[in-house]
Amino acid sequence: MELNKYIDHTLLKPEASEEQILKLCDEALEYRFYSVCVNSCHVPLAVDKLSDSDVKVAAVAGFPLGAMSTASKVFEAREAVEAGASEIDMVINVGALKEGRYEYVLHEIAALVDVCHGYPLAYGDVATSGNASLKVIIETCLLTDEEIVKACELAVAAGADFVKTSTGFSTGGATAEAVSLMRNTVGNKAKIKASGGIRTLADAKKFIELGADRLGCSAGVQIMKENE
């Protein structure tokens, strides 16, 4: 198992500086992580730094609350993809999901799928290059088991590539129970990203064994050192 290739090396703190983003990229290059995950304002810097490597750049959209308008999430994702991001991690509208506005949630995810996969949007926007993946953050700590299942079903129906547990900025992160439930729900129709609170080698191995295809962590370097 190439543990490093499971890791999205992450820095999403609001106070993150350009110097810290460059350090994140240097660490990703040293340990050959799958990607770095950054706020969208840092995408051009990270893309430039990693341009001669196979380390991808992931950007978040609608982060961390998910309570922005669909149009604002679409704009942020489109700008990041056009700047070179290979993956977008979007946050669903959690309130809409919890009150049963499933069509809203479905259509919003589908709009971000269109941006990432390169389809023209219904209201006439020009298609992007279409080479990006979409991860859908469902914020499991705020959901019941039934809501987790529904969020996963909506993400799959909309054509998303991944469902992701958490932003890491709410009341909790990834749990074994949530990852297992997500894997059982999506089967092989989508991949799983576990994120939030993954700080040790034991944590990383646990979530991979439960079916996670990717790990979002700011402690990637420490995990790799523990794995030496």
Active site residue 164: yes
**Calpha distance 62→50 (Å, rounded):** 24
Catalytic option among 56, 73, 135, 193: 193
Catalytic option among 56, 73, 135, 164: 164
Active site residue 98: no
Catalytic option among 89, 114, 161, 203: 89
Active site residue 193: yes
Q: What is the dihedral of CA 104, 109, 113, 114, to 10 degrees?
A: 20
SS3 of 108-133: HHHHHHHHHHCCCCCCCCCCCCCCCE
Long-range contact pairs involving 56-60 (C-beta distance under 8 Å, separation at least 24): 56/86, 56/87, 57/84, 57/85, 57/86, 57/87, 58/8, 58/85, 58/86, 58/87, 58/88, 58/89, 58/135, 59/85, 59/87, 59/88, 59/89, 60/12, 60/88, 60/89, 60/90, 60/91, 60/137, 60/167
Query: Could you give the residue numbers annotated as active site?
Result: 89, 164, 193
